[in-house]
Chains A and B, each alone.
Chain A
């Protein structure tokens, strides 16, 4: 992951797809904060080896099932297939894996069964504040390493923003519960409804545990600095989503707290989309337990769906949400005003509308993006409710008595690159350390914090922690083996039309049947998943070239459909075979045509199991 080359590719007239390949890990893997080997599991899916694929997907990510549904999928943004047409639907493929082998599968988590007995909690105890993705990811890693782990959660259930932020129609609560249960089952002590500073003080935590991780996230919505922002009817998205999720969790048939009438959501991030789509659903009756979905007659009596408008400062293409999510929001009837900003919120006793104007330019001021509005083109959007999704801040008031931990102006904790705070025994990970980020960033932060804590504890408590060698052995004995990428099946390339296959659309619930609970996105069946996976260009396979076998016939250069190969003069007398990693579609024609087997696709030496390039090429006599 370290030697990924990031060029200024745009300057060369190419599309900017982030990290390029160049003999290193595949771009999808390089883009994943937790380093999931997406290329490997996509290739395994294409070959129908779903169980092994799940092992690969789960190896780096304890939230594999959840990520399969709600990950922001930076892997897809980096996917090189995007150069040809559209990226592989990596996230949707992971979901298929999770459904077959994750904790939600009929026979339980394949990973959990492979892990078997977790080592006893013999190592120094760790306290983690917050059972969100960062805290649970850290707890997971530390518990497997043999530490006693206690997670303190202020809410009545674990999950953090996964439970109280992300709506049910994107992440069914059974999936969330199953995934968290599989983690807690490792032997993590979970203390729910335990508010630090009320039930336990932070100092008590420091006295109880060897180290403490703060992973409380960003739970408070930011306020809007515009006239009328204090009018009744202006709500923060995090509060609205929390109320909505709690209402659904209580199986309440009661209506949403949101007032009647049209709603305006301000913001263009995933929280804004969740809020807008939840607001749209909030007037729809909710079906429970197999009861038929929406009743058209009841809908009609209520006067149709709520009118929801989104005001986002970004251009539509620049919105930091997956294309599918944007598409579904629009399909549900959310009116989108991209590149618009709020001038003021209109109303006397209560909100009656929002005055907006197009964004002329976005300026950066002290790290915050400030839109510059074109005030000559004002527009009034009528609304009885305004939902603010313009950022969040942390609440770390429980640290008020702990002067050793420095806090940021927005309530976060100041940490170094190792996520270590200024107190030697306190770490912070996730949104509380970085500000609001995506789920997968939080998971990665939790893992990094866990690794950092283990290193520190190893130094501070060498006897208790044990030697690195025994620890590695213990880990190896308990972790399922991670298979390397399977060899590229060139036959597949020869016979399939993988290079013309379009990105497969995800099956979604019809908009008329959507309510606050029903999951919108559906899973593919296995043949469809294999078809989508077959589109992968296999960036993890690298071109290998045996110079001593080359007879300079240039047939590989001739046959390459992508003009990825060239033979160029290399003074002082020699010819260089030059390869373009960015355009190669791994069709294997060059390998097939080479008369001396001088070319080969192989896993990068560091990642292949044998570590030997050309292990699969036949011996060539006289070459």
Chain B
């Protein structure tokens, strides 16, 4: 009976292992192999393919993450590999190679075979914020160099980008201001700063010293006004958990024309914020809202219905101009005068016309989005219909918040 019990337990254990192993095999085989990297063969290096050849890991301090890479042996003999994590040239120093663990620690890959490695990155709580890179050299084969190199070029290296980030203790809730301004008018903007930390953080917002560096660089594109037109009022600190407001007042000179681009440096006293952070960019376009309407005269030889269509310029983005309270939607004041005077016209139809594309002229780095629907143009079209009598007619259009518009006058059905 004892023999039977021991035998049964042994069978049970074996079968469980078989079940596990059978299932695990599916996962092992299902890892995609993409974009492999084969070492240059000019100097007869071992042919090993690393897939993927680079990985990018984003982690906050205290976090860890695992990812998998596959090594394929393209040789006709077995190859021994032993991963070794080293700093990458120009990769930065705020990462410790010890944070990267690779398992298994070594492996013998049979001819034509593959081996999976699990890369586990663990970032300690006190890690510095920033971007660094390391490399995992699977063999000690290096590119020959005519001189000693502190960072040898490993042939079989996996490039690992480590992006250590954290939510800043101060959140700039308005990191840019983009608006259309009119000469002679004054505008107010608010930049909200939220302190999510546990200590009071000092701030000292002021115009960036870089603002004047580029003045006049673009010839006719020189600034519409100088930094003097902008005044900033702000508290000296943001208490923990509080949201404070930095007020920006812009007094546009009457004769201003063109654009202004500058920045406000928040001078946030917080070590988690990089020296170059804490800037609020400003982009203003100064223009004059037309006071007089555009006029178009046309004649009717006989009575006929008149259909007038006014459309805004094709706005690339559906969200209109400006931001927040200064957000401006295009509009038109349309009037029509017939042979007997002013004609009461009302919009009979409003069309919102969108443009959806799947590519076209797009930045080369967005080419991977070709074939996927993207809405990137919205146009407002208003239609007016009146009964026309013979004589001279005058269409007047006063546009607002748009720098271009189109019209069409259809006479007849």
A and B found bound together: no
